[in-house]
Amino acid sequence: MLNTFRRQAIRSAMKIDPAVVKLLDIDPENTTVSSAGGGGCSSASTSRITTKLSDGTQKLFFMKSGSGKDAEVMFKGEHASLNALHDAVPSLCPQSFGHGTYSSQPSTHFLVTDFLSLTGRSSSKSSAPSLASKLAKLHTTPAPIPEGYDKPQFGFPVTTCCGDTPQDNSYKSSWADFYANNRLRFILKRAEKNNGGDKELHNLVEATASKVVPRLLDDDHLNGGRAVTPVVVHGDLWSGNASAGTIGTKGGDAEELVYDPSACYAHSEFELGIMKMFGGFGGSFLKEYHELYPKTEPVAEYEDRVKLYELYHHLNHYALFGGGYRSGAASIMKNLIRKYGAD
């Protein structure tokens, strides 16, 4: 995998680094660290921190660690992503407590969040709000206004990584502008850098960005000409990043939640692209979601918009892994250009 940072062996009951102790304000003598096995990003080590607080209660944390600049960028982005989601819907995902660099190993970076005890979505019979309802609430929460701007913007205050791809989240006032340039043209450059030049793919992406995107996503076209409001999206919500369980040590019934986000402030329907690409969210999920959060007008173009958003993830997977993802991306673009790309 591209930009993969070195795995580190985590031994049971390993010593906790002083930087983590300082961040969490915990007693190292009453704290243990053990491997958390898999889960999360495949290119980072994961561990479980168990500590006893001054009142005698036990608290659990989850930590990722990895080496090099890539890990530092990824953890900074995931920290901001988790807290943007958590601020909008606290029960949707774990809270991040911070990120930093080991005192003992300056090349090693870490991220610490709430610990999740996962049971799997299929086993959840909780009376808590469903994932569809939580996502609908997330997508009805307007993005904050960035410093120096007079209204919410599309983008995000820090770089976030979708897989191992660090994304360009620089702010744009137009969603069509952001999607064409910060997503499609940006990921095309990554794909060309990693896989070599490809004239047909280049021309297809350019035609999609210059013709299809304005036709489907222009501010004067969406939502009856009222444009769309930026909302925070998870950004990488495939079925492997959703489950059911409990957050931290609060106990109670398991409820549906998400993790490993790659957030940005976007059109809410951008969330649905990768959900459609890999499946795992059936018709009943979307029915409930859209009853709470209706499809953007014009509704007749909804399926094509979701396909356009799915395209980004095909291109990102092609940039990361090459191979068969190119054909999926090309097929989507040819169909959309045929339908919307006429001069």
Is 14 in a helix, a strand, or coil?
A: strand
Residue partners of 259: CB distance under 8 A and separation at least 6: 40, 82, 93, 94, 116, 241, 243
**C-alpha pair distances (Å), 305 with each of 94, 176, 230, 340:** 30, 12, 16, 11
Whole-number Å distance between alpha carbons of 31 and 13: 9
Q: Is 127 exposed, middle or buried (0-12, 13-18, 19+ CB in 10 A)?
A: exposed
For the record, the structure tokens of 339 come out as: 């339908």
Whole-number Å distance between alpha carbons of 304 and 243: 28
Instruction: Catalytic residue, from 236, 253, 304, 343: name it.
Output: 236
Whole-number Å distance between alpha carbons of 267 and 227: 10
Is residue 219 annotated as a catalytic residue, yes or no? no
Indicate the residue type of 127. Answer: S
Are the beta carbons of 119 and 254 closer than 8 angstroms? yes
Query: What is the β-pairing status of strands 165-166 and 96-101?
Result: unpaired
Q: With CA atoms as reference, report the closest residue to 293 among 139, 87, 148.
A: 139
Question: Would you name the residues annotated as active-site residues?
Answer: 236
